[in-house]
């Protein structure tokens, strides 16, 4: 089963507003992918990017968010339920 999450900016200075201002008023801002082990995904990301990714409580569960500069222009969220 899949789902679509629609977003709109809460204010003019947030990440969603910045993305829309830069890319236009529509498009895919990101993709969420369920993983079996968030810790394994995080370890692989940190080893390959030399950057720390802090977990947070996302809409689908424990998550890490990978910014667009690492993913060809979209946000990617890995989550574990």
The Cα–Cα gap between 38 and 55 comes to 9
Give pLDDT, residue 72. Answer: 87
Give pLDDT, residue 44. Answer: 96
**Residue 47: other Cβ atoms inside 10 A:** 8
Give the model confidence (pLDDT) of 30-74 as tens digits: 899 999 999 999 999 999 999 999 999 998 899 999 998 899 888
Residues 38 and 79: beta-carbon distance below 8 Å: yes
pTM to 2 decimals?
Answer: 0.75
At the top level of CATH, which class does the domain 15-80 belong to?
Answer: alpha beta
Task: Locate the domains of the chain by residue range.
Answer: 15-80
Question: Average pLDDT of 3-11?
Answer: 79
- Which contiguous run of DSSP H or E holds residue 42? helix 38-49
Q: 2 pLDDT band (50/70/90 cuts)?
A: low
């Amino acid at each position: 089963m899949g789902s679509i999450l629609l977003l709109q900016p809460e204010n003019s200075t947030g990440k969603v507003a910045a993305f829309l201002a830069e890319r236009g008023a529509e498009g895919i801002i990101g993709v969420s992918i369920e993983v079996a082990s968030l810790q394994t995904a995080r370890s692989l990301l940190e080893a390959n990017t030399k950057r720390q990714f802090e977990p947070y409580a996302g809409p689908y569960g424990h998550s890490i968010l990978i910014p667009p500069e690492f993913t060809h222009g979209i946000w990617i969220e890995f989550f574990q339920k």
